[in-house]
């Protein structure tokens, strides 16, 4: 499933994502029982955050392939074919829906789109969530600082939501609610928080009885007005080393 997050503060927007893709197979037994084997193969080399020519960023989670090919190649094709330096950030969500709903089946993929609109020299922060299969577009309010995330969110939801300790009489004693001080976040705090929640999700799932669908390395992209987006962390292509046992 993956984990993606956008942290938006006054100074800019931070997009972060993990790199794991987990595949499943489906087989039909002689008694016609359908068995789905999740996690039969995984790779930690999948790009899930992308830079667009108009200084916007896109992060994805959900379905990892279309017609037997990784969805990464389709995202890259979409960016090359549809987005140029003059494309307005607000146009991208509808463009994504139109592009990916042409496939059969329609991929169950979620997009976070981040960037800026420039109107008469004033830059307005823009953040969208798009669910292609549901034909759903949500414009996220960025007037106040905060974050939006999708994918394997169980770990983060448990960290941020109020919790309580169960008593012998089945009642609960609430633990102190320690809120995240979004309003005080600097851009560096946004980078650190994005890295923290992806790392924490990966580390927690490592010890849980679950399919490990979120994994390193972590890609982190920073988007600011009047500047080109830049990577805080980005995996690169490399030669894989092999050892042969005699």
pTM: 0.90
Q: From CA 246, how far away is CA 244, in angstroms rounded?
A: 6
Predicted pLDDT at 178: 84
Looking up tokens 């329609």, which residue turns up?
106
pLDDT tens per residue across span 176-218: 888 899 999 999 999 999 999 999 999 999 999 988 999 999 9
Mean pLDDT of 205-233: 95
Long-range contacts of 119-123 (CB under 8 A, 24+ apart): 123/225, 123/226
pLDDT at 240: 67
Domain ranges (residues) in the chain: 3-233
Fold adopted by 3-233: 3.60.20
pLDDT of residue 121: 87
So what's the pLDDT on residue 128? 98
Q: How far apart are CA 188 and CA 185, in angstroms?
A: 8
What's the length of the chain? 246
Query: Which pLDDT score, from 0 to 100, does residue 246 have?
Result: 47
Peptide bond into 138 cis (omega under 30): no
Find, among 143, 224, 158, 233, the residue nearest to 194 by Cα: 233
In the predicted model, what is the mean pLDDT of residues 134-155?
Answer: 97
């Amino acid at each position: 499933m993956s984990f993606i997050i956008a942290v938006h503060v006054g100074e800019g927007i931070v997009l972060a994502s993990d790199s794991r893709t987990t595949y499943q197979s489906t087989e039909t037994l002689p008694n016609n029982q359908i068995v789905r084997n999740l996690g039969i193969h995984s790779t930690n080399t999948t790009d899930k955050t992308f830079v667009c020519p108009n200084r916007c960023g896109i992060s994805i989670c959900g379905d990892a392939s279309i017609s037997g090919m990784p969805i990464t190649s389709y995202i890259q094709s979409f960016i090359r074919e549809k987005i140029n330096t003059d494309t307005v950030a607000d146009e991208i969500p509808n463009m994504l829906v139109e592009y990916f709903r042409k496939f059969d089946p329609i991929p169950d993929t979620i997009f976070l789109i981040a960037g800026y609109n420039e109107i008469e020299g004033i830059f307005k922060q823009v953040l969208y969530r798009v669910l292609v299969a549901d034909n759903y577009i949500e414009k996220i309010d960025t007037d106040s600082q905060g974050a939006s995330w999708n994918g394997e969110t169980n770990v983060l939801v448990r960290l941020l939501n109020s919790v309580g300790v169960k008593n012998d009489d089945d009642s609960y004693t609430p633990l102190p609610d320690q809120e995240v001080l979004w309003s005080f976040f600097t851009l560096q705090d946004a980078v650190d928080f994005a890295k923290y929640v992806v790392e924490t999700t990966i580390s927690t799932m490592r010890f849980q009885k679950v399919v490990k669908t979120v994994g390193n390395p972590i890609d982190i992209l920073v988007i600011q007005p009047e500047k080109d987006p830049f990577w805080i962390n980005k995996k690169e292509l490399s030669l894989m080393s092999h050892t042969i046992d005699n």
